[in-house]
Amino acid sequence: MLFDTHAHYDDARFDDDRDALLSAMPENNVGLILNPGCDVPSSRKAVSYAQKYPFMYAAVGIHPENIGADWEQALSLLRDLAQNEPKVRAIGEIGLDYYWEKDERARARQQVVFRRQMELAETLHLPVIVHDRDAHSDCLAITRQFPAVTGVYHCYAGSVEMARELLQLGYYLSFTGVITFKNARKAVEVVRATPLDRLMIETDAPYMAPEPFRGRRNSSLYVHRMAEAIAQIKGLPVEEVERVTTENGKRLFRIES
Ligand code: NI
């Protein structure tokens, strides 16, 4: 049974067939899905899917690209959701995105909002789901400031060196369809250097469809491709990768059964 630890079913690209698609997941060997939020509306939707489908869980958070002028108010709404909804299992996705944000003041604000959400995770004893795009050293610096918090770096794109430090801090590393691409040399090296009991798989649907579906709308139906890619890189049976990555996600997000 596969666990897609990161998929955005709140995206409008699922509006036409969301229920049919999600209802078919268990019979397609996708036994668990975690839907992270990127702002208040998407976090609320993530919670509503978790309420509706027994195999879905939610995270709530403000993504670095979704920081509005009212972010403090948004944060207090998300705090209420995280405290009152039992299927909210993480704060995320949160972090830094310097690929889309070049302005120094806006980057400084991303850091403030990231820190505030790390504090929230610490207070609520929840793990975090970190988005780090072209911001490796600042992300790591903020992560280090919260040694009581662990979580997962999603769609991990850093170096092997940074991966080692994150593993030491108790973090998991999660991989998308990127590891199925031909030019994925760096991610492949990280997978090789990371023990299986610290790896997770995700689709990041509707984005990042793996080979041979690249360019199409992604969904959790393709999460087996990441298990196959890791099995191939590590020379392990795919059943073992499937079983261990699912256990890892359940351990991090405290999912029983
Ligand atoms: Ni995402």
Distance 165 CA to ligand 1 centre (A): 22
Distance 234 CA to ligand 1 centre (A): 25
Distance 36 CA to ligand 1 centre (A): 7
Distance 178 CA to ligand 1 centre (A): 13
Distance 141 CA to ligand 1 centre (A): 21
**Percent of the chain with pLDDT strictly greater than 90:** 98
Distance 131 CA to ligand 1 centre (A): 7
Per-residue tokens: 76: 């207090």
- Which pLDDT score is estimated for 183? 86
Mark the ranges of the chain whose per-residue pLDDT is less than 70.
none
| Cα R_g (the chain), whole angstroms | 17
- Which pLDDT score is estimated for 182? 87
Distance 222 CA to ligand 1 centre (A): 16
Distance 232 CA to ligand 1 centre (A): 25
Per-residue tokens: 44: 């609320």
Are residues 153 and 107 in contact, defined by beta-carbon separation less than 8 angstroms? no
Distance 80 CA to ligand 1 centre (A): 22
- Which pLDDT score is estimated for 149? 98
Distance 11 CA to ligand 1 centre (A): 11
Distance 63 CA to ligand 1 centre (A): 9
Distance 8 CA to ligand 1 centre (A): 7
Distance 5 CA to ligand 1 centre (A): 10
Distance 174 CA to ligand 1 centre (A): 11
Give this prediction's pTM.
0.97
Distance 144 CA to ligand 1 centre (A): 22
